[in-house]
Amino acid sequence: MQAGGAARFVPGEMALVLDPTGKRYLICLADQDTLHHHLGTVQHADIIGQLDGARVRSSQGRVFTVVRPRLIDAILEMPRKSGIVYPKDAAHLLAWADVAPGQRVLESGVGSGALTLALLRAVGERGQVIGYEVRSDFLELALSNVHAQANPRPTNLLLREHDIYTGIPDQDFDRVVLDLPEPWRVVPHVRAALKPGGWLAAYTPSIVQAGHLVETVRATGRFVQIETNEVLLRGWHIQGQAVRPEHEMVGHTGFVNVARLVGEL
């Protein structure tokens, strides 16, 4: 994934430029390019070769700051054709499904690859993410989004064009993570593909989907710790006497459902 803080900015890398007021601009560094801003232009060439957190001057002498984007900054900006799992929900899913370094994770559908990037970060280089997706155009988009963020390119991601409702050809997963219209159709296959003690996680935009999934999971008699959560995130504006919640917040994204497979009696 992203190089550590000691590495210098190189061409082709994403950089987050903060103007003197803190406004953010995500750019892809290229030797000849320029960021145009009303407080002056910033040459990419002045950023390339600098360390994370570097201060550079615009053509008007104003100070801009350049940092490596957080994964969530990059995910929110990347091209998408599908709905994505937003960072607040992805973070919750990773924690509640206990996704950890070294695990082998199955993800379906892959969509734009937003959740794929979060999963790759969580499992680390020793882990593996296998993604099933029915649409080849989504596979291409997800792969290009992953490659844009992950340098060097991850060798532990395997994407397959496959309809997961028909079955799970791979096995021995520590986690199965779903973002599909009908996740309950995967439950019969999950029992063979997921290791006992492993977690199933499913993101569902609608509570009707969540209900159907949870009842299907419960009816198998093979899952425990069945939990459904909604994450409400409220940012706060803190400046002098003006200390208050942000005026606007995201009203709804979806529900995160998790359940844990156990052995047969």
Residues that bind ligand SAH (CB under 6 A): 82-85, 108-109, 111-115, 132-135, 138, 163-165, 179-181
- CB of 176 within 8 A of CB of 148? no
Dig out the tokens for 220 from the structure.
Answer: 């198998």
What kind and span of H or E run contains 47?
helix 44-47
Cβ 251 to ligand SAH shortest distance, Å: 19
Residue (35 or 139) nearer to ligand SAH, CB: 139
Cβ 8 to ligand SAH shortest distance, Å: 31
Cβ 6 to ligand SAH shortest distance, Å: 30
In whole angstroms, what is the distance from residue 105 CA to residue 117 CA? 12
In whole angstroms, what is the distance from residue 132 CA to residue 109 CA? 6
- CB of 93 within 8 A of CB of 116? no
Residue (58 or 116) nearer to ligand SAH, CB: 116
Residue (132 or 223) nearer to ligand SAH, CB: 132
Cβ 80 to ligand SAH shortest distance, Å: 6
In whole angstroms, what is the distance from residue 3 CA to residue 87 CA? 21
Residue (35 or 217) nearer to ligand SAH, CB: 217
CA-to-CA separations, 99 to 54, 106, 110, 171, 199, in angstroms, rounded = 33, 11, 17, 17, 9
Cβ 140 to ligand SAH shortest distance, Å: 11
Cβ 107 to ligand SAH shortest distance, Å: 8
- 104-108, strands of its sheet edge to edge: 157-161, 128-133, 104-108, 173-178, 194-204, 255-261, 223-230
Cβ 112 to ligand SAH shortest distance, Å: 4
Burial 59-73 (b: 16+ CB within 10 A, else e): eeeeebebbbbebbb
Residue (189 or 195) nearer to ligand SAH, CB: 189
Residue (47 or 117) nearer to ligand SAH, CB: 117
Burial grade of 29 (CB within 10 A; 0-12, 13-18, 19 or more):
middle
Whether the link from the prior residue into 109 is cis, omega within 30° of 0, is yes
Residue (51 or 250) nearer to ligand SAH, CB: 250
Residue (20 or 181) nearer to ligand SAH, CB: 181
Cβ 110 to ligand SAH shortest distance, Å: 6
**Nearest residue relative to ligand SAH (C-beta):** 109
